[in-house]
Structure 1
Amino acid sequence: MNAVFLAIVLIALAAAGWRQLLWQGPPAGQADAALASPMEQLSAGMVASATGAVELAIGLVGVMALFLGLMKVAEQGGMLVIIAKLIRPLMVRLFPQVPANHPAMGAMILNMSANALGLGNAATPFGIRAMQALDALNPRPGTATNAMAMFLAINTSGITLLPAKVIAIRASAGSMDPAGILPTTLFATITSTVAAVAAVLLLQRYFPVGQSTAQELALPRPWVEPFMAPDGAASPNAEAGEGGEAYPLWVSVTALACLVLAVPATIWWGRTISPWIVPLMMAGFLLFGWWRGVRVYEAFVEGAKDGFDVALRILPYLVAILVAVGMLRSSGALDVIVGALAMFTAPLGLPAEALPMALLRPLSGSGAYGVMSAILTDPAIGPDSYVGYLVSTIMGSSETTFYVLAVYFGAVQVRRIRHTLIAALIADVVAVIASVAICRYLFAT
């Protein structure tokens, strides 16, 4: 992100500087602001972008507090555990190397459930715990196992049922239909997840784990000790049961079938049902929490405090990226780049305005949020345009791949990641293609 940020600023400065050298000054007797020198326009654009970033963050505080408050009610009501029980039969087939009652299974399920509900950072502790438990089953320390590769590929492409943060940003940007990305996000994430699973299964045979060496086996791994039996073997029962016992198979199959059927339903009737989603979601989550014995008011307030903190934490990132993008736009460099790329990408349904989002998303989550915010708040684009829906869908249906791999593999000192990165990037590309396809079908005019 450092290189991206610096490159944008230098390109904008170079473009404005070149135009300044060629500038002949305003016509005699005219001093219109639109006729200011290129460097003056650049300076004004920087100040305006910084001010707009602060205004956007302030507007985001309330919306973020609302959605994270609802998420806290759902979390305390045990919605994660319910989802965990529903998908356990599928998990034991995706991870045949992991015993069904091993703690890694429960941690992976909770991580995926948290990601599906858009809980963001709440999923990270479950993911790190899953990697540590999986490492207890690792025959070659320092090398990713097939289960680790599958888990992280799914993690970076996991199905998102509720992209709460993206909906919040769309609402703060003035969208008339902030939840309209739910059907497009669901379609794109299901498609990318299928691609991730297929890529892992295909590639793992070409990237064997190999034989461990005495030096590798001697590596200190204190994080696996809670998951080991007294004889040093991996204990399948250690701290098991995060997801509880699974529901009967027919219940899980029915739930997965309903999820699959929801895709065409949301595509066909998405515009009709989307205005109902946010009000019904608030009422439904509160009723669910009340039914489960949660003190919904206190839980909501606790989550809302987290939303306030999140909105403030992203303010510096918004200022940085929006100022950089504003410089790029004010300097005229963005117009040149868009014009050069549009002839190739526009016929494919990926406008050049959306390209930075597609390229930056795997690298930097905060940077991608900043680019999306800049696009959604641009008066020439807006959140309810085709480009607005497209960048929102890409944001909601993909993950910060390099960050996830660095954090999760770093937690267990894995340096040889085998085919994990390739599979994750394939999923990212498929997510962009699927986003373009579904947004063109629903929103292109």
Structure 2
Amino acid sequence: MNIIFLAIVMIAFLVAAMRQFAWSGDGQSPMELLGAGMIKAAEGSVTLALGLIGVMALFLGLMKVAEAGGLLTIVARLLRPLMVRLFPEVPADHPAMGAMIMNFSANVLGLGNAATPFGIRAMQELDRLNPYKGTATNAMALFLAINTSSITLLPTGVIAIRAAAGSTDPAGILPTTLFATICSTTVAIVMAKLLQRYWSANPADLQITPEKTEAETVSVPLPESDAPAGEGYPAWVSALALGIILAMVPVTILHGRTIAPWIIPGLMVLLLGFGAIKRVKIYEVFVEGAKDGFQVAVRIIPYLVAILVAVAMFRASGALEMLITPLGAITNLVGLPPEALPMALLRPLSGSGAYGIMASIINDPAIGPDSYTGYLVSTLQGSTETTFYVLAVYFGAVNIRRLRHTLAAALSADLAGIIAATAICLVLFGALR
């Protein structure tokens, strides 16, 4: 991100400088426009974060109630029968399986902060089964490929940002996000399974020392808070839940505009009701989660200032127009407008960068959150992951140097997510173009 940030600023400055030397003297000079754009973006980023505080506090408070009531464990038990088939090389009772299930469950519910610790723990446990230290196993590659594209039922963060930007339909991205993540996750699994045949786990050009095999590995149980309860629901229950999720796609596509107004009020009633049934002290737990939301909203202010100022410089200098115009003319033909192209390109590289671009787009009065472009960038943010960040953090936790087919599978999933997001937004919101 350091290189990306510096490159955006330097390119913007150089382009503005060249335009300044060619300036005829009419109106504001390119450098004046550049400086004014920087100041306006810095002020706007803080205003955006302040507007986000209340909405973020609301959603994180609700998710805290759901988590305290055991919703995460319920989702984990639903996933268990599927997981043992996806990862046949990992014993069903191994701690790695429990950590992976909890990681996926947190991602499904939009609990990104909870997903990362589970993911790192899963990688550490998978490394215990790794006979070739420093090289990614098939299970590691599949786990991270799914992680970069995992199905999201509740993209609460993006909904909060859209609400703060004044959207009249902040939850309208639920069907588009669900469709895009189902497609990207399917591609991630298929590509990981196919590509593992062509990447050897023990290349001759690397000196790799076999260590403990699966049979020799000592199983270390997860702490009680990290382990899913029980052995999982019967397979038919998991299959039924998966069928319901898949059935939600056509339902939300056909009746999305009718359902959308009910989602946020219904979500609050359902989650608080779930917590009450589970005898959670819903008020105290909600407030505790809302505190986390306040802290998150305040903590992102420096990131918003940095990226929004850099993006504003890139736009005000004319550099963005020079880059996007030729590419955007091509991508616009397939439903990816020039304004959304930077978002699609930057999302796998930088989460904060893509976040800033999305925020700047949906807060642009000329575009707005409820335009076709606003829905598209919101869907891209909610249905894709920062691939290189995930690989760096998770593989770095266990000192994996040889990624094998992980990156190829993850980038294939990213591409599938972008294509699927564009396609579903064209179907649902194409009339807004």
Measure, in 1, the Cα distance between the counterparts of 2:220 and 2:48.
Answer: 49
CA contact 2:106–2:114 (8 Å) conserved in 1: yes
Residue 99 of structure 1, CA deviation: 1.2
Q: Secondary structure at the match of 1:138?
A: coil
- The answer to whether structure 1 residue 234 and structure 2 residue 229 are counterparts is no
- Equivalent residue number for residue 155 of structure 2: 163
Q: Deviations over 1:48-78 (max 9, x none)?
A: 1100001001111111111111111111110
Structural mapping, 1:26-41, within 5 Å: 26=26, 35-41=27-33
Measure, in 1, the Cα distance between the counterparts of 2:17 and 2:353.
Answer: 25
- The answer to whether structure 1 residue 176 and structure 2 residue 168 are counterparts is yes
Q: Which amino acid aligns with 2:181?
A: T
Measure, in 2, the Cα distance between the counterparts of 1:366 and 1:342.
Answer: 23
Q: Which runs of 5+ in 1 are unaligned?
A: 27-34, 219-223
CA contact 1:109–1:243 (8 Å) conserved in 2: no
- Equivalent residue number for residue 70 of structure 1: 62
Residue 4 of structure 1, CA deviation: 1.7
Structural mapping, 1:134-173, within 5 Å: 134-173=126-165
Q: Give the alignment partner of residue 402 of structure 1, picking from 382, 385, 388.
A: 388
Measure, in 1, the Cα distance between the counterparts of 2:427 and 2:324.
Answer: 23
- The answer to whether structure 1 residue 249 and structure 2 residue 235 are counterparts is yes
Q: Which amino acid aligns with 2:80?
A: R
Give TM-score, length-normalised by structure 1. 0.92
Distance 1:326 1:233, change over 3 A: closer
Measure, in 1, the Cα distance between the counterparts of 2:294 and 2:339.
Answer: 30
Structural mapping, 1:21-420, within 5 Å: 21-26=21-26, 35-210=27-202, 216-217=209-210, 232-235=216-219, 241-420=227-406
- Equivalent residue number for residue 12 of structure 1: 12
Q: Secondary structure at the match of 2:129?
A: coil
CA contact 2:77–2:228 (8 Å) conserved in 1: no
CA contact 1:106–1:243 (8 Å) conserved in 2: no
Q: Which amino acid aligns with 1:342?
A: G
Q: Secondary structure at the match of 2:148?
A: helix
Measure, in 1, the Cα distance between the counterparts of 2:203 and 2:20.
Answer: 63
Q: Which amino acid aligns with 2:18?
A: W
Residue 239 of structure 1, CA deviation: 6.1
Which shifted more, 396-405 or 323-332?
323-332
CA contact 2:8–2:311 (8 Å) conserved in 1: yes
Distance 1:329 1:305, change over 3 A: same
Residue 339 of structure 1, CA deviation: 2.5
- Equivalent residue number for residue 407 of structure 2: 421
Which shifted more, 324-333 or 231-240?
231-240
Measure, in 1, the Cα distance between the counterparts of 2:356 and 2:30.
Answer: 24
Q: Deviations over 1:409-431 (max 9, x none)?
A: 11111111110111000000000
Measure, in 2, the Cα distance between the counterparts of 1:211 and 1:376.
Answer: 48
Measure, in 1, the Cα distance between the counterparts of 2:65 and 2:428.
Answer: 32
CA contact 2:328–2:341 (8 Å) conserved in 1: no
Distance 1:238 1:432, change over 3 A: closer
Residue 336 of structure 1, CA deviation: 3.0
What fraction of aligned residue pairs are identical, expressed as a percent?
A: 65
Task: Count matched residues.
Answer: 428
Measure, in 2, the Cα distance between the counterparts of 1:211 and 1:46.
Answer: 50
Q: Deviations over 1:148-190 (max 9, x none)?
A: 1111111111000111111111111111100000000000000
- RMSD between aligned alpha carbons? 1.9
Q: Which amino acid aligns with 2:316?
A: S
Q: Which runs of 5+ in 2 are unaligned?
A: none
Measure, in 2, the Cα distance between the counterparts of 1:342 and 1:409.
Answer: 35
Q: Secondary structure at the match of 1:353?
A: coil
CA contact 2:178–2:383 (8 Å) conserved in 1: yes
Distance 1:243 1:368, change over 3 A: farther
Q: Which amino acid aligns with 2:297?
A: A
Give TM-score, length-normalised by structure 2. 0.95
Q: Secondary structure at the match of 1:207?
A: coil
Q: Secondary structure at the match of 1:328?
A: helix
CA contact 2:109–2:153 (8 Å) conserved in 1: yes
Q: Secondary structure at the match of 2:295?
A: helix
Residue 37 of structure 1, CA deviation: 1.6
Measure, in 2, the Cα distance between the counterparts of 1:92 and 1:273.
Answer: 35
Distance 1:239 1:211, change over 3 A: farther
Which shifted more, 282-291 or 35-44?
35-44
Q: Deviations over 1:75-103 (max 9, x none)?
A: 11100100011111111100001111111
Q: Which has the larger radius of gyration?
A: 1
